[in-house]
Copies of this chain bind each other. A is one copy, B any other.
Amino acid sequence: MQMSILMLVAGMAVSAGEPGRAGDPIEQVVLAVHGGTGMEKALVTPELDKALRADLTKALQAGYAALQAKEATSLDGVVASIRVLEDSPLFNAGRGAVFTRDGKNELDASIMEGATKRAGAVAGVTNVKNPISAARAVMDQSPHVLLIGRGAEVFAAEKGLEIVDPKYFWTERRWQDLQKALAEETKKEGHGTVGAVAVDANGVLAAGTSTGGMTKKRSGRVGDSPIIGAGTYADNGGCAISATGHGEYFIRFSVAHDINALVAYKGLSVSGAANEVIHDKLKPAGGEGGVIVLDKQGRLALSYNSEGLYRGYVTKDGKIVVHLYDD
């Protein structure tokens, strides 16, 4: 009897320390971002490490600044943060998007607000500089939630968003990723999707996600990022979630909405809900990835079953914290 108690205690200790499992929620958070599960840690040079942390910090600063503006909403914070990550070539979203197997860039994004459950998303766009702003335009300026392909591009242009030559999304690094993937030299793939969650002074939650998809994806393949309920969800009765990972699993498990349901219906904390979905449901099924989850009390969970999750948050008083792996 004594032995089994000891074993249980040992098991719990291991579990609590499991890499990527969220501990007690981080308190007093107003905004958090992620930049995907990233690449193999061993391949990250000191220079790249520094650059990644710098851009995540810049995204948090931009989001925090947006939240300080008069009448600012959590949506403003989410968009400001994600635009910085989209404009960086280091993340798989916007400028740094990966290539399809046909050598194109097809981008997806979504956004949602938790008080009214308004939402917007675009998928398969090739010439919109900041897909997160296109998602917000769908939410704010159309009766729709999801626009895809050419129709989404026409809409974005009509609304005055910045349209770029598709070549804008060509980066040497992602092109080499595609060549390696086509040669099947890489088996393991990082997911560089970006996202943000925020809560504003009125206690309104928002979440957003933006991605270039998977290297060597079939043209037309859409993952979880633009899918409300899979890659993004926000519900003031629960929490705000942005996900990154192997999108097919995140769709099948309705990851974002499932975390919300566990908070809303089972009363789990953001950490409990995030860990249950990411570690106890997705991991056994083979679904790699992670989530950032924030509730309207400013409690944040960061949970991932991958080697890393590029992530950071800013607290009410402006303190910024950034992590890439289990550091």
Q: Please give me the residue from chain B that is nearest to A138 by CB atom.
A: B221
Indicate if the CB atoms of B220 and A252 lie closer than 8 Å: no
Indicate if the CB atoms of A149 and B148 lie closer than 8 Å: yes
Complex interface bits, A56-78 against B, C-beta within 8 A gives 1, otherwise 0: 00000000000000000000000
Q: Please give me the residue from chain B that is nearest to A262 by CB atom.
A: B265
Indicate if the CB atoms of B145 and A124 lie closer than 8 Å: no
Indicate if the CB atoms of B227 and A144 lie closer than 8 Å: no
* Interface size class of chain A, counting residues whose CB lies under 8 Å from the partner chain: 35 or more
Copies in the complex: 2
A52, chain B: closest CB distance, angstroms? 28
Indicate if the CB atoms of B152 and A251 lie closer than 8 Å: no
A42, chain B: closest CB distance, angstroms? 26
Q: Please give me the residue from chain B that is nearest to A287 by CB atom.
A: B117
Q: Select one of B117, B118, B146 contacting A222, CB under 8 A.
A: B146
A264, chain B: closest CB distance, angstroms? 8
Query: Which B residues are in CB contact (< 8 Å) with A257?
Result: 229, 254, 257-258, 261
A253 to B251, CA, bound (A): 15
A151 within 8 A of B: yes
Query: Which B residues are in CB contact (< 8 Å) with A186?
Result: none
A210 to B8, CA, bound (A): 49
19 CB < 8 A contacts A-B: A143-B248, A144-B218, A145-B247, A146-B221, A146-B222, A147-B222, A148-B149, A148-B222, A149-B220, A151-B218, A151-B220, A151-B221, A154-B220, A227-B227, A229-B230, A233-B254, A254-B254, A257-B261, A261-B261
Query: Which B residues are in CB contact (< 8 Å) with A137?
Result: none
A147 to B213, CA, bound (A): 12
Most chain B CB atoms below 10 A, which of A112, A228, A233, A266: A228
A212 to B217, CA, bound (A): 26
Complex interface bits, A142-167 against B, C-beta within 8 A gives 1, otherwise 0: 11111111111011000000000000
